[in-house]
């Protein structure tokens, strides 16, 4: 098939070969943001378009703001891998994936340049509008695959996207309620269960065991990387807990607004 851009943004085309039909013919309801994690954007684009990679994405954004579309939005790109959100494990069938050129943590993780973020904002706004994607469904790869992934990472400007109508965001809370129990790996009990319940309510794939296990630790890291990036250690300190409380409250307001 000849790939024609879905987006109204200025967009180049370089067709990938690794994609399939969306399971059950579902429409995309999630937008997943990645970084490329390779030393050059050109190498990453070639990799995502090549058959030997076993991966692909819908869109690709260079540092200078150039946008490429690789897979039609109607198709299932192979970008999320083993992942889950709100109990759904086939994230690829339910999402649109954007790869953002950045060397990532293994190759000298860097800030995302303004031209790149400017183009990304325009692209995200266009995708969200056409596909009716909710703010709470704009996610990091690390959110849906916390045991495996770190991207797009703690330097990604989530607040700037939110200020432009993209994604759910709350300001990180500093040290607050210092009498609250600090929770970390090895802890168990009601406080851990409450933490897990709040994280699962937002969408993280954490089981409600009451035990601060490895998966809970990974999910806390993913949450911190997205919403409280000043300290990423997997420990649910007072700042992390207060920021999570604020996020869940904002989630409630977002859901309530839809029912009005």
Query: Which residues belong to the active site?
Result: 99
Cα-only R_g, the chain: 18
The angle subtended at Cα 250 by Cα 94 and Cα 121, nearest 5°, is: 55
150 alpha-carbon distance from chain centroid: 10
- Residue among 180, 167, 175 nearest 231 (CA): 175
The label of the residue with tokens 């309530």 reads 256
What is the rounded distance in angstroms from the CA atom of residue 104 to the CA atom of residue 239? 26
Cis peptide bond prior to 152, omega within 30° of 0? yes
For residue 61, list its beta bridge partners: 67, 100
Half-sphere exposure of 41 (CA within 13 A, CB side): 17
Residue 96: beta bridge partners? Answer: 31
Phi, psi torsion values for 148, nearest 5 degrees: -115, -30
């Amino acid at each position: 098939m000849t790939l024609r851009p879905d987006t109204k943004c200025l967009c180049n085309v370089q067709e990938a070969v690794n994609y399939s039909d969306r399971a059950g013919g579902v429409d995309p309801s999630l937008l997943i943001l990645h970084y490329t994690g390779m030393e050059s954007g050109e190498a990453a684009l070639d990799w995502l378009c090549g058959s030997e990679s076993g991966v692909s994405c819908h869109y690709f954004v260079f540092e200078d703001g150039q946008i490429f579309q690789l897979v039609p939005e109607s198709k299932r790109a192979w970008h999320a891998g083993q992942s889950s959100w709100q109990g759904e494990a086939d994230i690829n069938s339910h999402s649109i994936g954007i790869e953002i050129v950045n060397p990532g943590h293994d190759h000298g993780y860097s800030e995302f340049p303004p031209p790149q973020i400017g183009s990304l904002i325009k692209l995200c706004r266009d995708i969200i509008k056409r596909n009716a994607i909710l703010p709470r469904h704009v996610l990091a790869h690390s959110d849906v695959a916390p045991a495996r992934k770190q991207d797009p990472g703690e330097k990604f400007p989530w607040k700037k996207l939110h200020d432009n109508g993209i994604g759910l965001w709350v300001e990180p809370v500093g040290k607050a309620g210092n009498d609250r129990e600090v929770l970390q790996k090895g802890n168990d009990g009601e406080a851990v269960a409450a933490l897990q319940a709040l994280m699962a309510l937002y969408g993280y794939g954490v089981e409600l065991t009451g035990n601060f296990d490895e998966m809970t630790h990974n999910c806390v890291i993913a949450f911190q990387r997205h919403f409280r990036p000043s300290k990423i250690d997997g420990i649910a300190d007072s700042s992390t807990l207060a920021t999570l409380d604020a996020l869940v409250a904002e989630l409630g307001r977002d859901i309530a607004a839809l029912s009005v």
